[in-house]
């Protein structure tokens, strides 16, 4: 079956249904484990950070610069503008959307009476938005240029995001179990944190398919949003415990895995 026969929007949906599935698979670890070792958790968070950093450059910023050059635009302009807009957008969402970071007792965003468990899920949901958007924009790029090369790169990105979603799902559901929720509820909340990815992907793919001129900006926007999440949440949380060296090694492994996928497949 040739994937290139499908609409980029449909491919973006398929790609993020895969990443959502791996989130759910990771969330299912709550049926096996009662606790998540802090050393393992720090390594998982570091791995997720590494994947997102590598994806931001190899899968998003670098293609954006090349596309801008081919379109006759100043090569660095869409990369800089889109990158900063992506960061500012996530900061705005971070300010208004109520959420609670994993090792914090104080909720961020607008004041709310939502339960702690819901706020924890919303924190993960928040940084799944740019992940879904990134995959969607990457598949949307199929409408522009070398379809086979772009398809391989988009698939590599979806695989990379999916790989880091597996431990991320476990990092949501198992702490929720510790908060007192049943295993089933913890699993359902954990997998639900990934629902936003297919939604963001379809929106991102649709935008670049119908407005080709924004493609390099959209790729850079997704990169900026992902880097904001890495610096704001993943790295600080992974370095907050006693296993900073494990978190750092996890980041390096995640970066290497995503770079390998992108260079080998893309």
Tell me the pLDDT tens digit for each residue of 110-130.
Answer: 777 767 777 778 878 887 889
Mean pLDDT of the 206-223 span:
89
Question: What contacts 10, CB < 8 A, 6 or more positions away?
Answer: none
d(CA 118, CA 217) in angstroms, rounded, equals: 33
- Contact between residue 128 and residue 114 where contact means Cβ atoms under 8 Å apart: no
Q: Angle CA(189)–CA(191)–CA(193) in degrees, nearest 5?
A: 75
Res 10: pLDDT: 93
Closest by CA to 81, choosing from 59, 63, 64, is: 64
Res 148: pLDDT: 45
High-pLDDT (> 90) share of the chain, %: 47
- Contact between residue 200 and residue 156 where contact means Cβ atoms under 8 Å apart: no
Q: Is 73 helix (H, G, I), strand (E, B) or coil?
A: coil
């Amino acid at each position: 079956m040739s994937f290139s026969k499908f609409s980029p929007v449909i491919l973006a949906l398929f790609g993020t249904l895969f990443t959502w599935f791996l989130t759910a698979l990771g969330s299912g670890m709550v049926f096996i484990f009662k606790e998540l070792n802090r050393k393992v958790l720090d390594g998982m968070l570091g791995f997720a950070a590494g994947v997102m950093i590598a994806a931001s450059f190899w899968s998003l910023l670098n293609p954006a610069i090349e596309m801008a050059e081919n379109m006759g635009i100043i090569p660095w302009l869409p990369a800089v503008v889109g990158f900063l807009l992506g960061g500012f957008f996530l900061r705005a969402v971070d300010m208004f959307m109520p959420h609670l970071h994993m090792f914090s007792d104080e909720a961020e965003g607008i004041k709310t009476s939502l339960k702690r468990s819901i706020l924890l899920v919303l924190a993960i949901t928040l940084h799944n938005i740019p992940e879904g958007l990134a995959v969607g924009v990457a598949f949307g790029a199929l409408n522009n240029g070398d379809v086979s090369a772009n398809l391989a790169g988009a698939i590599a990105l979806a695989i990379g995001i999916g790989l880091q979603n597996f431990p991320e799902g476990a990092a949501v559901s198992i702490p929720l179990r510790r908060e007192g929720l049943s295993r089933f509820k913890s699993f359902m909340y954990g997998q639900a944190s990934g629902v936003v990815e297919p939604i963001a992907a379809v929106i991102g793919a649709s935008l670049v398919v119908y407005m080709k001129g924004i493609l390099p900006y959209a790729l850079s926007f997704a990169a900026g949003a992902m880097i904001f999440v890495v610096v704001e949440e993943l790295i600080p949380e992974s370095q907050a415990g006693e296993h900073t060296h494990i978190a750092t090694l996890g980041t390096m492994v995640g970066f290497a895995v995503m770079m390998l996928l992108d260079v080998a497949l893309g």
